[in-house]
Amino acid sequence: MLSRRVVVTGLGAITPIGNNVQDYWTALSNGVSGAALITQFDASKFKTRFACEVKNFDVTQFIDRKEARRMDRYAQLAMVACDEAVKHCGIDLEKVNKDRVGVIWGSGIGGLKTFLDEVTSFAKGDGTPRFSPFFIPMMIADIAAGLISIRFGFRGPNFTTVSACASSTNAISDAFYYIKMGKSDMMITGGSEACVNEAAVGGFNAMKALSERNEDPSTASRPFDLDRNGFVLGEGAGAIVLEELEHALARGATIYGEIAGCGASADAYHLTAPHPEGLGATSVMRCALEEAGMKPEEIDYINVHGTSTPLGDPQEVIAIQNIFGEHAFKVNISSTKSMTGHLLGGAGAIEVLACLMAINTGVIPPTINHFTDDPAFDTRLNLTFNKSQKREVKVALSNTFGFGGHNASIIIKKYE
């Protein structure tokens, strides 16, 4: 069973720079920033007053209004991305064995807005408990996976991974293993997050994790720049359809790439800070390479975690240089969070999509907003600053690291 190959046959996305995969990729390859002043609440009293919000999103274009009201925004975004991915993969829902199709989703926080609204309403009341009967099912982080399975009737393995900002990378990895081990033939996987609200912005501000460059939000996310001062909060969802190779070939599916290997590790160091020597990040990339049976020299592109924080960016580069040695100067590296902001538990999903699109188009998306070199980074590194670059990409690596020291990496290769 472990020889079963796992390929990608469907893509879906709704992001701060595009509400479908093609629009997302066009903006990404053109270096478009999704950061702007917050519109979902009055942020005038907050230290950070901007974020990367999904724009022009009317959920009723995709989901019945009554049904949508029973979903937190993070679940709504998940449903929209999965709708696109399922349509994109061309599966005949009447013919597929739905017992062999599962859903594994990732979300670091889940329905935070629902929780905030319900508790705020109770606190402002007279003490009489008046909670929505949908409060709990709207809030819990696993409900998106359940809703997706209900929508399509998929009765295979169904759960959600929660590992902070590594959540959706872990979800894709688990989906890969379920197919590889013969437990499923297809999996809908990815992740979503919708935390542009008072609780999240206030909480991250209290940690001093967010950029406070309110005068110029579009340049606030500056991975690897000397003046980076925190990440920019984002929201959205990314979805991919994974499929066992022979199953995909039998139905004539278009194949966009193949999952070659996955890695997982822990820093075992600090609640929020990365290991200063990049030990966990080094370990997780080594694990992914070993599982893929690849040498570092085979990697063409690395989509880094690259959040634009003073501590995180250098530690990831240390880890890359630990693993790749001289090849670190030959591989393209970029942080697409410079454009999308940080989708937290949804980050890994849209970044795997970026890797797949790089493989299929031969274009490396840039790290925008680079103004001043940081002497912490060797100038021989190709961090793909400010403009996309053309390059054949046969193999790409995507990194995500989460609070608690959770690390996850995925290697995607061109299907041959």
Average pLDDT over residues 331-346: 98
Average per-residue pLDDT in the chain? 97
- Torsion angle of C-alpha atoms 119, 120, 125, 127, degrees rounded to 10: 30
- Please state, as a whole number, how many other Cβ atoms lie within 10 Å of the Cβ of residue 307: 27
CB–CB of 169/190 below 8 Å?
no
How far the first Cα of the chain sits from its last, in Å, is 20
Of these residues, 82, 165, 262, 287, which one is catalytic? 165
Instruction: Establish whether 89 is a catalytic residue.
Output: no
Q: What is the structure's pLDDT at 3?
A: 83
Average pLDDT over residues 143-155: 98
Residue 78's pLDDT band, with cuts at 50, 70 and 90, is very high
Using alpha carbons, list the distances in angstroms from residue 265 to 95, 159, 408: 39, 21, 7
Average pLDDT over residues 2-24: 96
Q: State the pairing for strand pair 186-193/236-244.
A: antiparallel
Phi, then psi, of 13 in degrees rounded to 5: -160, 145
Q: What is the structure's pLDDT at 372?
A: 98
Phi, then psi, of 395 in degrees rounded to 5: -140, 135
Of these residues, 305, 355, 370, 406, which one is catalytic? 305
Q: What is the CA radius of gyration of the chain?
A: 20
- Cα(305)–Cα(231) distance, rounded to whole angstroms? 11
CB–CB of 43/49 below 8 Å?
yes
Q: State the pairing for strand pair 301-303/36-37.
A: unpaired
CB–CB of 101/185 below 8 Å?
yes
Task: Give the percent of the chain with pLDDT over 90.
Answer: 99
Res. 126: pLDDT tops 70: yes
3-state helix, strand, coil in the chain (%, to 5): 35, 20, 40
| pTM score | 0.97
Instruction: Tell me, letter by letter, the H, E, C secondary structure of 215-240.
Output: CCHHHCCCCCECCCCCECEECEEEEE
Chain centroid to CA 172: 10
Residue 318's pLDDT band, with cuts at 50, 70 and 90, is very high
pLDDT tens sequence across 358-394: 999 999 999 999 999 999 999 999 999 999 999 999 9
Q: What is the structure's pLDDT at 134?
A: 97
The one-letter code for the residue type at 87 is: K
Range in 1-5, 160-164, 220-224 with the lowest mean pLDDT? 1-5
DSSP of 381-396:
SB--BSS-EE---SEE
- Cα(90)–Cα(13) distance, rounded to whole angstroms? 16
Instruction: Establish whether 82 is a catalytic residue.
Output: no
Average pLDDT over residues 137-145: 98
Of these residues, 88, 247, 275, 342, which one is catalytic? 342
DSSP conformational letter for 264: E
Residue 2's pLDDT band, with cuts at 50, 70 and 90, is low
pLDDT tens sequence across 103-120: 999 999 999 999 999 999
Res. 84: pLDDT tops 60: yes
Q: What is the structure's pLDDT at 1?
A: 55
- CA-nearest of 2, 4, 7 to 240 is 7
Average pLDDT over residues 54-63: 95
Average pLDDT over residues 251-266: 98
Instruction: Establish whether 305 is a catalytic residue.
Output: yes
- Sequence-distant (6+) residues with CB within 8 A of 216 are none
- Cα(139)–Cα(177) distance, rounded to whole angstroms? 28
